[in-house]
Amino acid sequence: MDRLERLTLIGSATLMAAFFGALVYAATQLRISVPTCVTDVAPFTQGKVIDKGNHHYEVHMVAKMWAFDPPEVRLPPGAEVDLYLSSLDVTHGLYIEHTNVNLMAVPGSVNAARFHLDTEGEYSAICHEYCGAGHHFMMGKFIVTSAAAAPAAVEAGAALGQQLFEQKGCPACHSIDGSTAVGPTMKGIFGRTVELEDGSTKVANEQYLEKAIRAPGEEVVKGFPPAMPEPALTGAEVHALVEYLETLK
């Protein structure tokens, strides 16, 4: 065998061994695994975080127009996370920054990834698949903090409401500067008299706004399409949103 031939063979064999070594190192030392589609888990409709003990957490994440549920996940440093992702409507994506998590949320199926969050900080979870008018607002958050067990700081209603307004993608259809978009503007909404599709009128007070947020299909404002999806909000969140809307003079 020619000397050059032998060198080439040894070189490529060494390279393959290095690749294999890197693979083993990534799997065992860096604990990186490849995202997979799981077939034995039924698609779920509600997001939740389950503490399995021993720093192991299971996160059920639901993607929907245009938010992730749960919108915020708090975990302690060193958490090992089994993430299961499903979608309620169209195809979404989920990329969590500074991790190797990059999944598709496909309606009717569940995709999974295991990852670790060792360093304290905030990690944005971003929808990276175009999913409609609110796509660019579709964002969640993983917060790694040693104070994870402590209850979330109590925020002033209106400030929390503003955060939710942006987080839930409301600005995609509702302006706050008086301009008309897919939906009515929220500027000066509180106390305004609105005309509904059936010709009746209502004053936009607290009860009206709460209902309009909870069940957007029931009382549609005249001249606008019944396009608003029912948001997944807790009672306190709806209340905070209304408090925010009251500030939009």
- Contact footprint for ligand CUA (CB under 6 A): 63, 66, 92, 127, 129-131, 135, 138
Q: How far is the CB of 70 from ligand CUA (least distance, A)?
A: 15
State the minimum distance, in angstroms, from the CB of residue 127 to ligand CUA: 3
166/240 Cα distance (integer angstroms): 13
Closer CB to ligand CUA, residue 61 or residue 241? 61
**Closest separation between CB of residue 61 and ligand CUA, Å?**
12
| Whole-number Cα distances in Å, 120 to 100, 150, 183, 221 | 17, 15, 39, 45
Nearest approach, Cβ of 93 to ligand CUA (angstroms)? 6
> Which residue, 125 or 160, has its beta carbon nearer to ligand CUA?
125
Q: Which is nearer to ligand CUA, 68 or 190 (CB)?
A: 68
d(CA 90, CA 87) in angstroms, rounded, equals 7
Beta carbon nearer to ligand CUA, 67 or 212: 67
Buried b (16+ CB within 10 A) or exposed e, 26-41: eeeeeebeebeeeeee
Structure-token pair, residue 42 = 């039924």
Total residues belonging to the chain: 249
